[in-house]
Amino acid sequence: MATKYIIVTGGVLSGLGKGIAAASMGHLLSSRLKIVPVKCDGYLNVDPGTMNPYEHGEVFVLDDGGEVDMDFGHYERFLGVNCMSHWNLTMGKVFDMVRQKERRGDYLGKTVQYIPHVTDVIKGHLAEVAATESADLVIVEIGGTVGDIENELFLEAMRQLKEDVGRNNIIYVHLTYVPIPSGVNEQKSKPTQQSVNLLKQRGIFPDVIIGRCSEFLTRDIKSKISSFCDVDPEAVITGLDVDDIYEIPLIFESEGLSEILHKKLNIYSPPDLRKWKELIDNIKKPEKEITVAICGKYTKLFDSYASIIESFHHCSAHLKCRINLEWIETTDLTSMDFLDRVNGIVIPGGFGSRGTEGKIEVIRMARERNIPFLGLCLGLQLAVIEFGRNVCGLADANSTEMNDKTPHPVIDILPEQRTVTNKGGTMRLGGYTAVLREGSIVHSLYGKAEVSERHRHRYEVNPEYHNPISEKGMVFSGTSKDGRLVEFIELPNHKFFVATQAHPELKSRMEAPAPLFYGFVRACLK
């Protein structure tokens, strides 16, 4: 079978949930097809790794060490795939490739132009991804909104693609907005018509229109959109506002989307949504309730902790438990009163020294008061610092990230790490294997002796302090194969005190919650 393509564009407004719509569509088709999601972003950064979380949300790290847009989190969670960094194509990467070709002399001294040279590079990249992955279906999400200058070249390339891959192998799905103005109380199609017109001006004629709306689209509005925009009436689909994004595949299916996609692409891959639906129903009917404090720095920016929020959501579904997250800003922590309200504490990842002393104090409380604690990356480092200072008597122990003059650098950059020049930095990025100690909490939670989780950090537990710290009772329950890098720590004789140098939240899935989160929530419930 030739590779099929679904091109997803958006109109009217940004933020309508194009990534979730694309991932949900993929979910419906994933039973029999190998699906590869590709996201095209118009910005000129080569990757979002160094972009400010205020602007960009969480940096999502892939197994291969790629730092990509957080939309890839949705793809992984909805499609059950592990994505690769070159499935994220930014205009910065495209221009980089074009420039390299030009320098190599590939263009034989010709004028290098947007069309065909830039669009060829975009299409060539897609073809390469499809071929190396032996993809049955490639879902291409074009970032931004039609009419933006930034995505014009991607749109033009997608228009051309129809001729290259054959018209029976590609469809265009356009996500728009159907408002119901207050006072008028009627679904309005004009923004959709105008946005489809913008798309048509670029030579793209949508096959399916998804109208984001606060209600199901009426038969009337569907037929109006159908006639003004030249799509089949059954190909106008409601993109309903929902509280829980995991409901979107169910909504799409109730609107008949998979059948339309099957018909238009001549494929057959019927969805089985029973398990998914059962899990979503569990979330809606919780039998228990807990509150967890997330103590961090950007706590007003929920997007920078998106995967942590997701991980708890997955636990909710499996443990039939409502999990309230209480966001604690540790920069100006004046009171510890919140500890009386919460069942557990999470210290998430972070960079720089701001807020760290507050976090260390919170960890001390968690340890002394036997409150379940989960540390993620920086959370592990601070737990080691706290233990070093207050249990091992290492005065002013610290990470050299916070204080490079500390007498006890229990957390430090290792010499071997200094030479890594990953993307200009010295980060340990991507999936790394850890060996788990038999009989430990983490071993029993993962149910195996070797696990791979994703990393994004520079500093490590300093091997010179392994002995003094473990002698006092902190267990290094998971390490790199050579034992040099500490990947998991835990305290025995505590309700739950576990931390990892990795970011297990990045691999949590609705069908398979991250084991550490699962274990933590279970401990909070006790």
Residue 477: how many CB atoms within 10 A of its CB?
25
DSSP structural state of residue 225: H
Residue 401 in the binding site for ligand GLN (CB under 6 A):
yes
Residue 144 in the binding site for ligand GLN (CB under 6 A):
no
Residue 351 in the binding site for ligand GLN (CB under 6 A):
yes
Residue 513 in the binding site for ligand GLN (CB under 6 A):
no
Which lies closer to ligand GLN via its Cβ, residue 377 or residue 383? 377
Look-up: residue for tokens 């071993």? 443
Residue 293 CB, nearest distance to ligand GLN (Å)?
17
Residue 399 CB, nearest distance to ligand GLN (Å)?
7
Residue 457 in the binding site for ligand GLN (CB under 6 A):
yes
CA dist list (Å): 199 to 158, 160, 172, 228, 331: 11, 14, 10, 13, 47
Considering only residues 349, 372, 388, 513, which one is a binding residue for ligand GLN as defined by CB under 6 A? 349
Residue 411 CB, nearest distance to ligand GLN (Å)?
7
Phi, psi of 310 (to 5 degrees): -60, -45
Which lies closer to ligand GLN via its Cβ, residue 211 or residue 349? 349
Catalytic residues: 377, 503, 505
Which lies closer to ligand GLN via its Cβ, residue 136 or residue 487? 487
Supply 177's token pair. Answer: 């907005």
Residue 361 CB, nearest distance to ligand GLN (Å)?
18
Ordered alpha helix ranges (H), 105-184: 119-132, 152-165
Q: Cβ-count burial of 416 within 10 angstroms (0-12 exposed, 13-18 middle, 19+ buried)?
A: exposed
Segment contacting ligand GLN by CB under 6 A, of 31-39, 290-298, 308-316, 343-351: 343-351
Which lies closer to ligand GLN via its Cβ, residue 218 or residue 417? 417
Which lies closer to ligand GLN via its Cβ, residue 261 or residue 366? 366
Residue 301 CB, nearest distance to ligand GLN (Å)?
15
Residue 29: how many CB atoms within 10 A of its CB?
25
Residue 377 in the binding site for ligand GLN (CB under 6 A):
yes
Residue 443: how many CB atoms within 10 A of its CB?
19
Which lies closer to ligand GLN via its Cβ, residue 443 or residue 457? 457
Strand runs labelled E in 337-463: 344-347, 373-376, 398-399, 409-412, 428-436, 450-457, 460-461
Residue 460 CB, nearest distance to ligand GLN (Å)?
7
Residue 352: how many CB atoms within 10 A of its CB?
10
Q: Which residue is nearest to ligand GLN (CB)?
A: 349
Which of 486, 502, 525 lies closest to 375 in space, CA to CA? 502
Q: How distant is the alpha carbon of residue 296 from its chain centre? A: 19
Residue 505 in the binding site for ligand GLN (CB under 6 A):
no
Considering only residues 378, 383, 502, 521, which one is a binding residue for ligand GLN as defined by CB under 6 A? 378
Residue 458 in the binding site for ligand GLN (CB under 6 A):
yes
Which lies closer to ligand GLN via its Cβ, residue 354 or residue 481? 354
Supply 15's token pair. Answer: 């933020």
Residue 22 CB, nearest distance to ligand GLN (Å)?
28
Residue 108 CB, nearest distance to ligand GLN (Å)?
46
**153: which residues sit within 8 A by CB, 6+ positions away?**
91, 94, 114, 118, 119, 122
The footprint of ligand GLN on residues 417-436 (CB under 6 A) is none
- Asked whether 193 and 225 are in contact (CB, 8 A), the reply is yes
How far is it, in rounded angstroms, from Cα 279 to Cα 318? 7
Per-residue H/E/C for 250-278: HHHHHCCHHHHHHHHHCCCCCCCCHHHHH
Judged by CB under 6 A, the number of residues near ligand GLN is: 10
Q: How distant is the alpha carbon of residue 251 from its chain centre? A: 22
- Asked whether 10 and 16 are in contact (CB, 8 A), the reply is yes
Considering only residues 48, 57, 249, 350, which one is a binding residue for ligand GLN as defined by CB under 6 A? 350
Ordered alpha helix ranges (H), 86-145: 91-104, 119-132
DSSP structural state of residue 115: I
Residue 341 CB, nearest distance to ligand GLN (Å)?
25
Which lies closer to ligand GLN via its Cβ, residue 119 or residue 462? 462
Residue 504 in the binding site for ligand GLN (CB under 6 A):
no
How far is it, in rounded angstroms, from Cα 507 to Cα 513? 8
Which lies closer to ligand GLN via its Cβ, residue 364 or residue 458? 458
Annotate each residue in 255-274 with x if it binds ligand GLN (CB under 6 A) or - if it does not, as one string.
Answer: --------------------
DSSP structural state of residue 501: S
Residue 507 in the binding site for ligand GLN (CB under 6 A):
no
Residue 456 in the binding site for ligand GLN (CB under 6 A):
yes
- Asked whether 376 and 503 are in contact (CB, 8 A), the reply is yes
Which residues of this protein are in contact with ligand GLN, per CB under 6 A?
Answer: 349-351, 377-378, 401, 456-459
